[in-house]
Structure 1
């Protein structure tokens, strides 16, 4: 043993200088910014190898590899310009990195990973956090409007906290879902757009997220980017990443903004005298007695719009703390938002806490955790499609001569007005008597454990839960017409469980070949529970929904449960050669419980190629070309949003009278025809794109052309009445979207004291229905409620989805034409319609397509000007080519057929002395659904304007104050449009794609003025 020890000591003594020499061949140093600040988390990699390290909190690194002495080190990091340094035998290298001004060096979040923008092969658009902060909004999706080409954001309910609808490159489905998939910190979430019946809720998926918490928003548009999400990728994917902590000094940031909202546009309506004048004129035309022989008896002259609406305040507070060391980082934030609605008795409140933690357990094991807990309360005014009950509609049709109260203090009933419809409510009675509150408690959390198996190979295991408890309280008071006092409480719970297991391997062969592959298995299960209780016939309105037992008549309680499961296998491979040629191949196999037995599994592949011409020798020396890339992709994605159990036969309980004693019993009956062959709607998409960056990335241009073809559309085909069912859900039909997208980003001026940036985007989409399941080649989208009682949307082969359909007006009848005409009952001054089929009559066959609800073009322009400490930015957003069916006009623009108050312009009605009038004579002739109700909804809007002042450091001599700024801003300040309603961006039917582009008493859009304060410690 002594001999062995002696030999070991002698060997160590002999070789120790050689060992020390080899260790000294490593490289160490420090990385700083141009301001002299040390930069942590910078990757230092030995070029051509997988050997790398990262800088610590002090910006220091140490690469103990002998090969580094004669190699090249690559320094890279998010938001920093990549730099290569030849070692040339040096042992210490200290460098200064410049902040990246090019998006090419930015890291983009994609499905199950990240990529440098310059290495992308798919169509991915990004919203930087700065753009979100430029618009102080309560919900983050509003920041998407006008920012990205090919992305349409519709506030389907303009009420605070209202649901949104996003269309990426047009709609793909008629009966299925068209909303994108949202991925929030790695957790997939789908927007549940439905009815407020206690079973489904029209929820805004981003309402629980504080916009100030968002670090980036990426929109995946083509199949190369979305195929990794398979059955949920057909409508595009929105990836949201929230702020995470960074190693370094602890930071505290606070922001507060407050403001006032006002109605953007009021509809000019008749005053009391004008209303009675038209009513008397109508009576004369009909040969009946005057309803208002003595106008002095009616002294009220109410502007109901002013009475039901208000200037509404809002305030928003955010506080965040972040920091950590090299092994543990944190970001914790809290938010409180309180937004009143411009319609009285409406508003939205949110309290939210977010915790993001990143922990390096050891050299191989890392844990990332994201948790959001939020509570939202949404008080909604009644704006339902039942327009006799919608407060906005009632406020428009209510006669101005109707008083609010009777002498005894009770509400005046509009039915007492000689020309009013008895079904209309007193607007104030409805406003105060209808209470509708939706409260949502949400917990969204997931943890991702990453284990580095070997150099370049890692395994990530993510587990998460999204739990939403929703309570909906509805009370209709006894002063509301037709209500004996009715209350209901609906409780629902939606919980989603997630498990993802992702294996990633990245390697490099020599200096030119780079390869990475991602593969994995995922599981997600959604479970929904609901219960509804109701009661009516209350003796008092005091209790509201707080004592259902006070109602003498109890409704039958209902409850339900649903579940769906998605199992998936996924894979993606990326290969690049010499940073010139790129290939991406991805595929996902999804198994969904929603589909028939033979079609539960679907396979969704994609492939993409990209060529960076700027890396070729013939362009390397062209100094003004910073980057030039061509890319093309093709792939298939699916749509599983067909609802639960539609492929199965379902039973429903029914109550009936049975037996000799006529007792009430419960029975069961099938509610649908099963279809075991029900399968995915599949979208095949082709995309070709050009990415060009010029003049040291001062100008960036992006152009895309795409074609999307969706097959196996869901369709409800009629079946014989003898079956006992109204229809059968099948896969039949197809839709095609094709379009062009353009965006440009320019730094016009870049000086120390003055900077000017401009961003512009433009997109055009043409969508057409190619095939429907019916032999007629068309079907209608469903009726709108009284007084229209007709369908205005048609799904017709060769035309855009849900096109508008109706009659064509042909001026007004004059005295000579009316007698013996194709409308034999018409009189001079009545509306005339065209006989399109030439059969001498006006029938349903004389209708035609009159336009489309979706815009043909979308565009946006934003700009930021910074001079010293001042910063000014604005956003213009517009749409062209869409129409809106102004259903309000059926009552307020019908020349008094129903006794409703009218728009001021109706005073231009036909008389023998006014033959060129715009409106028909006042009469009792109900109008047809015609082109005069389909209005041009094109618009250009000054969506946001903001002026910000950043105080210089140490302005107030406070060392611990690192930043301070104040700002003023306005949203929807100006809108240029021909639309006569409250707002051209309107959708009373929510996210429906069968009935869309309809304005039926929709919640008006608001114009907002605000001021805010930000500071950091």
Structure 2
């Protein structure tokens, strides 16, 4: 191994000047911080000013049953729009702090909820009626809302009190394990990465498999703008019948997010905050310096590989001071005609990795008004988020695992120790930076006017702006400067991106009940969406000093030399739609729903710009029938059936058009060199939507006076006209491939949700939620009369040995099948043995490992990367002022390819550092790298995902409405046979075409999984 020592170059005077003047002041960051501090100050000032007008007092009462006039213990009494709540004692009595004119919400399982305006009273009596329509809450659906009893589709509504308490980094984390059929995968604990979402399995090869997210009516709403404390509820529309109202955007389902709004009453303030800390849970077992030297002593590693140091490279990349914090303050109030809610927050997220985190500031506000005798309604929503992200850290884990632990990090003179066979990640963190400054803003408004009773016209519009600037710089002393091919010191990069989204959606709605038995709810509308994205980036080398970093790209001398790079682009797309929905319910027993939407998109060919989508659904509320009245244990039973068609247009822009790209430079007769352009894509005027046809039958039930409830759904999906790239003949085509519609995927699934209340009395309430789902999919076809393909390969393995892809999908087979060699053992000298088709075990050179000769190959399907079963269990116990929640979830019956074992469990990689298992578990192996079922492991696991203990103080204080503290632990325990870091971080969504996170591949340098502990406080005043 050849080693080179390279001296650091310093320009102390200039660097000191830089520290006092330019980038270290971080003007953008300072401006963001001042804005957030100003918003917080204003809200705090309002809070303490309003204190002087507070007139809270204690309201006492008793709750009884209308059936037998007996007192009801354990009834929840809440001040509407607040977190102030209590429960009745064994005699049905309660007391709560409330203000004059405030509304109390009284609810109890098996009884109809009530809202009571206390006026000037300090004592009230509440009589609850038995709830024969306990599933009749109002739920937000596409372009409106419906009573739950009128919904004919499969949907799950999650309220704020049911969210996880783990300090979610992404709003979708709140749904983890809460919705049957919803898969949420995160590739690690990196605070700068998002989540992968998938409902009911994969439905597309080239298009998106993610559900559409709609935030307060804004399609494609930005998740960065959502904070847990601002969310009122999340409704997940799972089947094609529910999602059809969104047409081409809803192939993967729809997630509707509703944020909290203001309410009439006195001004209220709510604070929520937490601090948290992460700890590494599991890491691969690579050799320490002591173990490495032991292998040298045993003669396994040559003596000249001991360089005298003792370095734990993994620990060098860990941020030991990774405390994160979050604070938000909300103010709400108003009168009967006008109300508001505004919140401001600060969040500092620190990853377990060094130089890896983000700081966020944000404001959200909404204003609601009524006028013209309540016929006119208006709503304005505004949200903005400013964040500074440190993107430098979070990688380099493979270097940390495999680096010789005896190599030093620095030379004796203090300069960084660089070598040609591996990088120095610690030096990279010190000598480089990679930062992002981002601002995301949304402004939306709705105006509604009741033209005549029951007929209302609404106009909705929104604008979303998402802009960021990335800046990266490698100093003169960095490794890229020392070893780049350009031969110039210093490397600077800067890019800027702007995304704009516009939506305009007028609708007309009609809601009427005729003769108390005929209920009609209808809406028709028009939808217009336009998106435009533009980007610019530039890179340069050869800087005289590090003073300006990336803020003076022109100072690099490689611009003149022609080695600097730059690029830019701009693209857009437009969707226009016409929509309608009608719901008819007869006597609360029978419900019919019909939806139709016609969409046009610029993304598709001129012969198929428009597509038609729709659904029909029926529901039978059986417990409303006379013959069911004597079945007293059954409170509610509804049977549903529906069919819906949705589309998928989530592909790149201009895929149906000929696009031009730059070619080579050529010299012209005048002696000048000029850029050439040529076509990069074949046109396809027939390119059209993928269409998903979905059938769903389901049952919603509640029994034993609300002690047991839930839903069961069975579905079948067929996605036709799959989008994908196929080989095209030249001529007549210009290029050798074309993006077109070929093939079909089908899937079947079952989902079960059970909600139980085993214990509920004046002191103890115990609730249990069990959610399970299973899905099995099939690739029906890849081919048609024009394009013939019998299989496709996915999921590149990477690493050593050029091992190709791991997953092959044949026509008629399951998605996610691992395809490769079948391990049969080792020869006496450690060579691989594999099975042939006839079952005999032979060395590798005697098998047919052809991936194209399907008639004779010895390769076979050896596993599957998609879990068959998902299960979660949530148990919550409340005792007096204490609450305790435990949340388990798991995935079962699937496989993971452990590429860490492939690359670093083989002694052929010495003298690099290796897993200790290379000498134990894989000790027999004395051969090259191979992909086979030898490295496939079961991914089945159960995780203790969250545990929360909380305490709510019951204060007889006019100023403080509620005060709760809690501690939460996340990712506390993992039960699995998988030997990798965490099977939960391995992607099990999509079909394997993702380049950054392929299906079923664990990767060799995944961000560490962490165990987190959090302390939080909620205060209402």
Q: Do they fold alike, i.e. is TM over 0.5?
A: yes
* Structure 1 residue 59: Cα displacement: 7.6
Please state whether the residue corresponding to 1:142 is helix, strand or coil. Answer: helix
The equivalent residue for 1:235 is: 252
User: Which of 712, 717, 738 is equivalent to 1:728?
Assistant: 738
Q: 1:1014 aligns with which of 1004, 1009, 1018?
A: 1018
2:314 is paired with a residue whose SS is helix
Q: 2:788 aligned to 761, 775, 794, which one? A: 775
Q: Identify the residue that residue 896 of structure 2 maps to in structure 1.
A: 884
Judged with a 3 Å threshold, the aligned counterparts in structure 2 of structure 1 residues 182 and 100 are, in CA distance, closer, same or farther, namely: farther
Match of 1:808 among 822, 837, 845: 822
Question: How many angstroms apart in 1 are the aligned matches of 2:557 and 2:242?
Answer: 58
- Equivalent positions of 1:122-137 (< 5 A) are 122-132=153-163, 134-137=165-168
TM-score scaled by length of structure 2: 0.83
1:574 aligns with 2:583: yes
Counterpart-to-counterpart distance in 2, 1:369 and 1:514: 30
Query: 470-479 or 246-255, which moves further after superposition?
Result: 470-479
How far apart are residue 647 of structure 1 and its match?
Answer: 0.1
* Map of 2:414 onto structure 1: 409
CA RMSD of aligned residues (A): 3.1
Cα distance, 1:842 vs. partner?
A: 4.4
Question: For the residues of structure 2 that align with 1:622 and 1:772, how far apart are their CA atoms?
Answer: 52
Cα contact 1:33–1:97 (8 A) shared by 2: no
Q: Is the 8 A contact 2:283 2:1008 kept in 1?
A: no
Contact in 2 for aligned 1:139/1:161 (Cα 8 Å): no
Provide closer, same or farther for how the CA distance between residues 992 and 1003 of structure 1 changes in structure 2, counting only shifts above 3 A: farther
Correspondence for 2:813: 799
**Aligned-partner Cα distance in 2 for 1:633–1:542:** 65
Q: Cα–Cα, structure 1 residues 274 and 39, in superposed 2: closer, same or farther, change >3 Å?
A: closer
Q: Deviations over 1:498-520 (max 9, x none)?
A: 10111110112212111111111
Question: 1:820-839 residue pairs with structure 2 within 5 A?
Answer: 828-836=829-837
- Is residue 488 from structure 1 mapped to residue 493 from structure 2 by the alignment? yes
Q: Give the whole-Å Cα distance in 2 for the aligned partners of 1:580 and 1:1012.
A: 45
Distance (whole Å) between structure 1 residues aligned to residue 1007 and residue 863 of structure 2: 24
Alpha-carbon distance, 1:143 to partner: 1.3
* Pick aligned residue for 1:640 from 641, 649, 654: 649
2 CA distance for matches of 1:406 and 1:369? 61
Match of 1:974 in 2: 973
* Stretch of structure 1 that moved more, 358-367 or 638-647: 358-367
> Which residue number corresponds to residue 268 of structure 1?
285
Q: Deviations over 1:262-283 (max 9, x none)?
A: 1121211112343355578787
**CA 1:356–1:99 in structure 2 vs 1: closer, same or farther (change >3 Å)?**
farther
Question: Against the structure 1 CA distance between its residues 1014 and 563, is the aligned structure 2 distance closer, same or farther, given a 3 Å change threshold?
Answer: same
Separation in structure 2 between the aligned mates of residue 38 and residue 978 of structure 1, nearest angstrom? 49
The match for 1:430 is 428
Cα distance change of structure 1 residues 32 and 456 upon mapping to structure 2, 3 Å threshold: farther
**Deviation per CA, 1:885-930, whole angstroms, max 9, x where unpaired?**
222333221223354311122221xxxxxxxx644445xx431222
Matches within 5 A, 1:480-559: 480=479, 482-483=483-484, 484-554=489-559, 555-559=564-568
What are the superposed Cα offsets for residues 177-204 of structure 1, whole Å, 9 maximum, x if unpaired?
11110000100017xxxxxxxxxxxxxx
Between the aligned partners of 1:40 and 1:313, the Cα distance in structure 2 is 32
1:440 and 2:438 matched: yes
- Aligned: 1:670 with 2:679: yes
The offset of 1:352, in angstroms, is 1.0
CA separation in 1, counterparts of 2:276 and 2:967? 9
State the match for 2:19 in structure 1: none
Q: Which moved more, 1:981-990 or 1:435-444?
A: 981-990
Matched, 1:951 2:950: no
Q: 1:173 deviation in Å?
A: 0.5
Counting only pairs closer than 5 Å after superposition, residues 464-479 of structure 1 correspond to structure 2 as 464-477=462-475, 479=478
- SS at 2:316's partner residue? helix
Give the drift of 1:738. 0.9
Which one of the candidate residues 297, 302, 305 is aligned to 1:291? 302
Larger CA deviation: 976-985 vs 597-606: 976-985
2:1000 alignment partner, one of 958, 981, 997: 997
Residue 181 of structure 2: aligned partner:
150
Question: In the alignment, which residue of structure 1 is the partner of 2:68?
Answer: none
- Does the Cα contact within 8 Å between 1:570 and 1:587 map onto a contact in 2? yes
Which residue of 2 is the match for residue 935 of structure 1?
Answer: 937
Cα distance in 2, alignment partners of residues 600 and 379 from structure 1: 42
Give unpaired runs (5+ residues) of structure 1.
Answer: 1-30, 42-55, 61-74, 86-92, 191-204, 284-289, 384-389, 416-421, 815-827, 909-916
Quick one: distance in 2 between partners of 1:713 and 1:326? 52
- What runs of 5+ residues in structure 2 fail to find an aligned partner? 1-59, 64-75, 83-98, 117-123, 851-856
For 2:359 and 2:735, how far apart are their aligned partners in 1? 44
Distance between the aligned counterparts of 1:36 and 1:257, measured in 2?
27
Partners of 2:862 and 2:917 in 1: CA distance: 23
Matches within 5 A, 1:247-258: 247-258=264-275
Deviation, 1:835, is 2.6
- 101 and 943 in structure 1: CA distance in 2 versus 1, 3 angstrom threshold: farther
1:279, 1:291 within 8 Å by CA — same for their partners in 2? yes
**Which has more radius of gyration?**
1
User: What per-residue deviation string (whole Å, max 9, x for no partner) do you get for residues 611-633 of structure 1?
Assistant: 11111111123221110011001
Match of 1:343 in 2: 353
- What's 1:752 paired with? 762
In structure 2, how many angstroms separate the alpha carbons of the residues matched to 1:147 and 1:569? 33
Aligned length: 893
The TM-score, its normalising length taken from structure 1, stands at 0.83
Q: Offset of 1:378 from its aligned partner? A: 2.3
Q: Cα gap change, 1:798/1:37 in structure 2, threshold over 3 Å: closer, same or farther?
A: closer
The 1:39/1:131 distance shift into structure 2, 3 A limit, reads closer
| 2:855 is the alignment partner of 1:857 | no
Q: Is contact 1:140-1:210 (8 Å) kept?
A: yes
Tell me the SS of whatever aligns to 2:700.
strand
